[in-house]
C-alpha cells in the first residue's frame, strides 16, 4: 500500500512528484470557474435572496416530488436494488467544478471503484448554479468510464436554478416545472421573485449529446426524486435534500421518519453534515425536530451519517447511548479544498482529538493555504510555510499531536506563528483569536484558487464502503494529482462499523 499523508510528506503529495495522467481525461478547454467574478456572484444570488425574503425551496421541492409521483415514481421513494449480501459502493462529495481537482480524483476512483455496484454523489453535483449544460464537462465526462449507476443528492449549488438540471439528469428527464402562481404585489415573495435567478430558456440544449458519454445500460440510474432511499444488500442508504439553506421541509421530514423506521442498518447521506469543523449542526426539520434526532433514535438503527458541503474529510465517532455512530464529512470529491487548519482542537459530544480524523491533515492544509496566499499577496517569502514548518506550528498552537510528526529541525519562529495566525489557524481554547484573513467562509466568495493552484497536491478524497451482513468498512481514499497516488490511492482513514 502506498504511503498516506499520515506516513510521509510524499504520501501527502508534496515534493517533486510526477504529475498523474488525469489531464488526459479533461476537455481541451476548461472554463476556470472564478468565484470572484461579478457574473458568478450574481448568478448564485438565490441563496442570499432565500435568506432575506424567505426560502421557497420546500415549496418547489414539493412540486418536483408531486410531478415525479404523477409520472409513476414510487410513493415511498425507495430504490430496491438487487445487490448481494456483500458489495461495495462509493461516496463522492462536492464534485462539479469541472477543473483539475475534480478530474484528479477520477483515475483513483476508477481503480478503487472498478468492483463497486454504484456510486452516490453527496451534494453540489454542479457548480456554480447547477445548469443542465454544465453536466457534460462536470458529470458525464469525468465519470464516463465508471461502469455502474450514479445516484445523487443535491447541494445548495444545484438549487441555484431551482434544481431543474439535477431533475433532468437524475430523475428520468423530468420536464421543467410550470411557472408558480405569481405572488401578491409588494410582498416579500413578490420582491424575491423579481430578483430570482432562473435557468436560461435554452439551458440543456447540449444535454443529449453529453448523455452519450454514459449511455451504457449498466450505467443507468433513475431516482424517484431529489431525496430517496436505496435498499442495497443488508443496508438502507437514505439520501436527503437540504436545499438552499441546509434545512428539511415538513413533508420530507415525515418521509425521513418513515423510511428510517425498522431494524435494517442505515447510512444517512446529506448535503449538510451533522458534525463538522468541531461543531454539532443537527439540521432543523420544518415543524420541529432535527435530522440528528432521527439519526440518534435507537429504533432507527443508523450507523453512519455522511455529509458533503465542506470540501474535505472529517470523521467524528460519536457515542450515542452506548452505540457509536460515525459522523463523516466527505466533500473532498472535486471542488477547491476547504481548510482543516481552522478546525479547533476537537472536543464535541465526547469526541476528542484522539478519535477525530481529517484529510488533509491540519499542517498540510496550512502549508497549502500559505502557498496560495503567498502567491495571491505576492509575499511568497514571508508567507510560504513548508509542510514541516506548518505542522510544527499547528502542534504548538493547538497543543495536539499532529497526524504526521513534523520533520526534525522544523522550528516554530515568529514568522511561522504570524502566518499561522493570519491564516486563521485555530488556537488552544485558552488563547483566543485575533485578526484573521478570511480563509473558509469568505474564501468561497472572494478568492478562487487561481491558475497557480491547478497543480498538485490537491488533497481530494472519496469514500469506498464495503458492506457485509456483519459490518461496513469505510475508507477515505486520497487523490493528490500525482501519479503515485493515482496508481494506488492511499487510505487516509479506515473504520469498521459493526452491524450486529
> Of 219 and 448, which CB lies nearer to Fe ion in the complex structure?
448
Q: Which stretch binds Fe ion (CB under 5 A): 87-95, 107-115, 136-144, 286-294?
A: 87-95
Contact 165, 158 (CB under 8 A): yes
CB of 304 vs Fe ion, minimal distance in Å = 20
State the DSSP code for 32: P
Q: Judged by CB, which is closer to Fe ion: 271, or 403? A: 271
Report helix angle 387-398 to 414-422, nearest 10.
Answer: 80
Of 464, 463, 423, 460, the closest CA to residue 440 belongs to 423
Least separation in angstroms between CB 311 and Fe ion: 6
Write down the least CB distance from residue 314 to Fe ion, Å.
14
Options 124, 277, 364, 493; binder of Fe ion; rule CB under 5 A: 124
Given the complex with Fe ion, which of 158 and 492 has the nearer CB atom? 158
Q: Cα dist. 479→4, 11, 390 in Å?
A: 10, 10, 21
The stretch near Fe ion (CB under 5 A) out of 123-131, 264-272, 397-405, 435-443 is 123-131
Alpha helices, H only, 173-300: 188-195, 207-211, 250-260, 291-296
Number of residues interacting with Fe ion: please give it, by CB under 5 A: 2
Q: How far is the CB of 458 from Fe ion (least distance, A)?
A: 15
Q: Which stretch binds Fe ion (CB under 5 A): 71-79, 86-94, 207-215, 454-462?
A: 86-94
* Of residues 25-84, those binding Fe ion (CB under 5 A): none
Stretch that binds Fe ion, among 21-29, 57-65, 88-96, 266-274 (CB under 5 A): 88-96
Q: Are 166 and 239 in contact (CB under 8 A)?
A: no
Nearer to Fe ion, 119 or 497 (CB): 119
d(CA 245, CA 261): 26
Distance of CA 183 to the CA centre of its chain: 34
Phi-psi region of 54 (alpha: psi -120 to 50; beta: other; left: phi over 0): left
Examine residue 94 and tell whether it contacts Fe ion (CB under 5 A).
yes
Q: Which one of the spans 44-52, 117-125, 187-195, 233-241 is the region binding Fe ion (CB under 5 A)?
A: 117-125
CB of 97 to Fe ion, least distance (A): 9
Stretch that binds Fe ion, among 77-85, 94-102, 281-289, 439-447 (CB under 5 A): 94-102
Picking from 332, 149, 130, 337, the residue whose alpha carbon sits closest to that of residue 237 is 149
Residue 207 has phi, psi (to 5 degrees) of: -70, -40
Closest C-alpha to 424, from 461, 392, 394: 394
Segment near Fe ion (CB under 5 A); pick from 3-11, 21-29, 93-101, 360-368: 93-101
Closer of 93 and 284 to Fe ion (Cβ): 93
The two beta strands, 347-348 and 351-352, are: antiparallel
For Fe ion, the closer CB: 124 or 134: 124
Give the DSSP letter of residue 264.
Answer: S
**Smallest separation (angstroms) from Fe ion to the CB of 134:** 14
Report cis status (omega within 30 of 0) of the bond before 360: yes
Nearer to Fe ion, 14 or 103 (CB): 103
Beta strands in 331-371 (DSSP E): 347-348, 351-352, 357-359
Shortest distance in whole angstroms from residue 127 CB to Fe ion: 7
**Least distance in Å: CB of 445 to Fe ion?**
13
- Of 33 and 419, which has the nearer Cβ to Fe ion? 33
User: Is 160 or 275 the residue whose CB approaches Fe ion more closely?
Assistant: 160
The residue with its CB nearest to Fe ion is: 124
CA distances 366 to 84, 120, 155, 263, Å, are 43, 30, 27, 43
Binding site for Fe ion (CB under 5 A): 94, 124
Amino acid at each position: 500500500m502506498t504511503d498516506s499523508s499520515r506516513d510521509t510528506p510524499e504520501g501527502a503529495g508534496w515534493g517533486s512528484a510526477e504529475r498523474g495522467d488525469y489531464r488526459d481525461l479533461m476537455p481541451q478547454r476548461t472554463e476556470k470557474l472564478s468565484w470572484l467574478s461579478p457574473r458568478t456572484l450574481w448568478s448564485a444570488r438565490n441563496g442570499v435572496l432565500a435568506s432575506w425574503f424567505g426560502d421557497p425551496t420546500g415549496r418547489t421541492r414539493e412540486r418536483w416530488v408531486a410531478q415525479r409521483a404523477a409520472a409513476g415514481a414510487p410513493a415511498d421513494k425507495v430504490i430496491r436494488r438487487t445487490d448481494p449480501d456483500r458489495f461495495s459502493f462509493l461516496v463522492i462529495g462536492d464534485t462539479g467544478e469541472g477543473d483539475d481537482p475534480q478530474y484528479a480524483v477520477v483515475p483513483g476512483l476508477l481503480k478503487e471503484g472498478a468492483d463497486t455496484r454504484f456510486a452516490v454523489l453527496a451534494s453540489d453535483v454542479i457548480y456554480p448554479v447547477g445548469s443542465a449544460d454544465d453536466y457534460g464537462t462536470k458529470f458525464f465526462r469525468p465519470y464516463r468510464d465508471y461502469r455502474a449507476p450514479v445516484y445523487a443528492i443535491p447541494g445548495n449549488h444545484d438549487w441555484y436554478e431551482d434544481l431543474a438540471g439535477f431533475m433532468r439528469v437524475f430523475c428520468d428527464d423530468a420536464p421543467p416545472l410550470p411557472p408558480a402562481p405569481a405572488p401578491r404585489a409588494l410582498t416579500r415573495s413578490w420582491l424575491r421573485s423579481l430578483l430570482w435567478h432562473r435557468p436560461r430558456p435554452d439551458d440543456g440544449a447540449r444535454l443529449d449529446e453529453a448523455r452519450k458519454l454514459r449511455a451504457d445500460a449498466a450505467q443507468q440510474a433513475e431516482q424517484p426524486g431529489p431525496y430517496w432511499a436505496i435498499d442495497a444488500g443488508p443496508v438502507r442508504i437514505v439520501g436527503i435534500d437540504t436545499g438552499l439553506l441546509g434545512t428539511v421541509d415538513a413533508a420530507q421530514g415525515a418521509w425521513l421518519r418513515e423510511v428510517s423506521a425498522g431494524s435494517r442498518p442505515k447510512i444517512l447521506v446529506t448535503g449538510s453534515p451533522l458534525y463538522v469543523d468541531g461543531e454539532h449542526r443537527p439540521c432543523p426539520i420544518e415543524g420541529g425536530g432535527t435530522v440528528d434526532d432521527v439519526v440518534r433514535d435507537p429504533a432507527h438503527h443508523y450507523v453512519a451519517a455522511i455529509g458533503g458541503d465542506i470540501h474535505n474529510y472529517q470523521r467524528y465517532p460519536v457515542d450515542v447511548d452506548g452505540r457509536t455512530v460515525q459522523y463523516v464529512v466527505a466533500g473532498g470529491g472535486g471542488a477547491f479544498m476547504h481548510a482543516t487548519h481552522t478546525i479547533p482542537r476537537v472536543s464535541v459530544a465526547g469526541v476528542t482529538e484522539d478519535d477525530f480524523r481529517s484529510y488533509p491533515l491540519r499542517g498540510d492544509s496550512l502549508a497549502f493555504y500559505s502557498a496560495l496566499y503567498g502567491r495571491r499577496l505576492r509575499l511568497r517569502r514571508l508567507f510560504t510555510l513548508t509542510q514541516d514548518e506548518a505542522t510544527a506550528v499547528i502542534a504548538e498552537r493547538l497543543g495536539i499531536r499532529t497526524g504526521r510528526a513534523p520533520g526534525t529541525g522544523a522550528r516554530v519562529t515568529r514568522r511561522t506563528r504570524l502566518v499561522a495566525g493570519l491564516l486563521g489557524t485555530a488556537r488552544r481554547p485558552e488563547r483566543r483569536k485575533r485578526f484573521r484573513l478570511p480563509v473558509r467562509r469568505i474564501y468561497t466568495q472572494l478568492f478562487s484558487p487561481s491558475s497557480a493552484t491547478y497543480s498538485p497536491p490537491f488533497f481530494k478524497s472519496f469514500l469506498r464502503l464495503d458492506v457485509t451482513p456483519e459490518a461496513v468498512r469505510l475508507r477515505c481514499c486520497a487523490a493528490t494529482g500525482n501519479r503515485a497516488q493515482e496508481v494506488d490511492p492511499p487510505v487516509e482513514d479506515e473504520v469498521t462499523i459493526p452491524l450486529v
